[in-house]
Amino acid sequence: MDGSTPDSLSPILQRLREAHARRTPDYAQRMDDLGRLRAAVKRHADDIVAAVAADFGRRSRHETLLSDVMTVLHDIDHARRHLRRWMKPTRVGTDWLFWPARSEIRYQPVGVVGIISPWNYPVNLALMPLAAAIAAGNHAMLKPSELTPRTSELLKTLVSEVFPEDRVAVILGGPEVAASFSALPFDHLFFTGSTQVGRLVMQAAAKNLTPVTLELGGKSPCIIAPDYPVDTAAARIAAGKFLNAGQTCIAPDYLLVHQDRVDAMVAALDREVRSRYPVLSRSADYTSIVNDRQYQRLQSLLTEAEAAGAKVLPLNPAQEPLPPSMRVMAPTLVLGVRPDMRLMQEEIFGPILPILPYRHVDEAVSYVNAHDRPLALYHFDLDRERTERVLDHTIAGGVSVNDTVLHIAQANLPFGGIGPSGIGHYHGRFGFLTFSKQKPVFYQARLSSMALMKPPYRKLADFLIKFLTR
């Protein structure tokens, strides 16, 4: 798969930049590109399912179609519906002092965009930022993950069917190529991945003053109010947590549950797992851990937590053996965790769910605020006043109230983190804006009020300055 070398990347970027300078994609071209990209994704839907399943070892067909196919199609459809309006210059107000001049904001493509995508949703997180870059009129270089090689090869094939090589290039390769890719002088660099790698990407981009969007991760909490229905919360938490076996950047990372309801929450989550995945080893709906390294990392988190006194509760309805070679990890609850455990310091990125008790909701909020700002926050509550208080007193990349994960599927909401969980936003118009230069333009009128404010200054100028600085 390693078809590109670091030395080969600069000429590719130069080719894309020269082509963009010769002809910037107009509205018709962008619409055509997006339409053909949509058709290619739909045409290759079965290939995507097969490639992703092969890379993971086992991946739910429905999860792939929902998260890696439907989401991309939906995003492209949204962009095509609204693109003409997005591209139209926006009239803005002009300060009365400068009347009758007028002002507007124009939206221009930045040029050539670099995109580095991860392995957990290898099609979604590659093609959604690519679609946004194309909608904004850019050319692009895409570096998909080497950890999902079959899907990355398919992405290269799919993209080559849609775009000429001087408009979009797909770069395959491992960490060395990724590092060189990050150091290229793109007009914008978009990265999705871990906070640790995001820091390295930002460092590399800074040498060229390349603007970056970093979609990272972190520990996304769930706060469940004392009187919220436990069964409803468990069903919605299980849906978000065990999707893709927890290998989701916005998956609930830990639960904050009132101390009197911890046992009830454990029982409710156990019931959910039994109903959804009665036989884990043969379930077509339950996804494997992507590789041995990730599987061993997750096991080590559990081993260390248990050795430190935590109670580990695997939810394995059939009590079946799950050998490491399968890389199938049972949904696992962990009680009695401490803040100094790796389990509570690292993003889990797997089907492990610590449960922390609290006495008052304010105590739960304080715990969230004592840690890095998360990519997502989930609050389950039927009390509007208390919900508003939680929203007002926490900061997160995005929030779902009384559910998990679903805020990411809203095309009219920006998606992105804050601080260690990310920089910048995309999805819908927010992706278009990320990959556009919002150019301010001031149009002077035939008669300029500024004619009164030029040397040699006279009494009128004195009067106006005195009035304006009063």
Q: What is the pLDDT of residues 417-446, one digit of tens each?
A: 999 999 999 999 999 999 999 999 999 998
Cα–Cα distance, 99 to 3 (Å, whole number): 58
Residue 408 has pLDDT above 90, yes or no: yes
pTM to 2 decimals? 0.95
181, two tokens:
């890719």
Cα–Cα distance, 220 to 243 (Å, whole number): 15
Task: Report the SS3 class of residue 216.
Answer: coil
Spacing of C-alpha 62 from chain mean position: 21
- pLDDT (mean) for 401-406: 98
Amino acid sitting at position 328: V
- pLDDT (mean) for 314-327: 96
Residue labelled with tokens 């299980």: 238
**Residue 194's CB: how many other CB atoms inside 10 A?**
17
**Is 254 within 8 Å of 287 (Cβ atoms)?**
no
54, two tokens:
């092969």
**Is 48 within 8 Å of 64 (Cβ atoms)?**
yes
Task: Report the SS3 class of residue 50.
Answer: helix
Cα–Cα distance, 15 to 18 (Å, whole number): 5
Q: Which CATH number applies to 6-216+420-440: 3.40.605.10, 3.40.50.1240, 3.40.640.10, 1.10.3660.10?
A: 3.40.605.10
Listed residue (289, 361, 401) closest to 57, CA to CA: 289
pLDDT tens digits, 36-46: 999 999 999 99
What is the residue-wise DSSP string for 117-175? --SSSTTHHHHHHHHHHHHTT-EEEEE--TTSHHHHHHHHHHHHHHS-TTTEEE----H
- pLDDT (mean) for 50-79: 97
Cα–Cα distance, 90 to 438 (Å, whole number): 10
Q: CB neighbours of 296 closer than 8 A, spacing ≥ 6? A: 324
pLDDT given for residue 4 in this prediction: 62
pLDDT given for residue 6 in this prediction: 63
pLDDT tens digits, 347-383: 999 999 999 999 999 999 999 999 999 999 999 999 9
Catalytic residues: 215, 249
**Is 364 within 8 Å of 338 (Cβ atoms)?**
no
CA dihedral 302, 303, 309, 311 (to 10 degrees): 40
Provide the percentage of residues in the chain whose pLDDT is more than 70: 99
The CATH code for residues 220-412 is 3.40.309.10
Cross-strand partners of 90: 105
Cα–Cα distance, 178 to 181 (Å, whole number): 5
Question: What own/partner pairs with CB < 8 Å and gap ≥ 24 does 27-30 have?
Answer: 27/83, 27/84, 27/87, 30/83, 30/134, 30/135, 30/137
pLDDT given for residue 135 in this prediction: 98
The domain segmentation of the chain, as residue ranges, is: 6-216+420-440, 220-412
Burial of residue 439 (number of CB atoms within 10 Å: 0-12, 13-18, 19+): exposed
pLDDT given for residue 5 in this prediction: 64
268, two tokens:
């409710």
Cα–Cα distance, 335 to 266 (Å, whole number): 10
pLDDT tens digits, 140-152: 999 999 999 999 9
**Is 247 within 8 Å of 287 (Cβ atoms)?**
yes
Burial of residue 357 (number of CB atoms within 10 Å: 0-12, 13-18, 19+): middle
- pLDDT (mean) for 386-390: 98
Spacing of C-alpha 58 from chain mean position: 23
Task: Report the SS3 class of residue 263.
Answer: helix
**Residue 28's CB: how many other CB atoms inside 10 A?**
8
Distances (CA, A) of 445 to 92, 457, 468: 15, 22, 21
Cross-strand partners of 107: 438
**Residue 371's CB: how many other CB atoms inside 10 A?**
14
pLDDT band, residue 167 (cuts 50/70/90): very high
pLDDT given for residue 2 in this prediction: 46
pLDDT tens digits, 76-131: 999 999 999 999 999 999 998 889 999 999 999 999 999 999 999 999 999 999 99
Per the prediction, the chain carries an average pLDDT of 96
- pLDDT (mean) for 177-203: 96
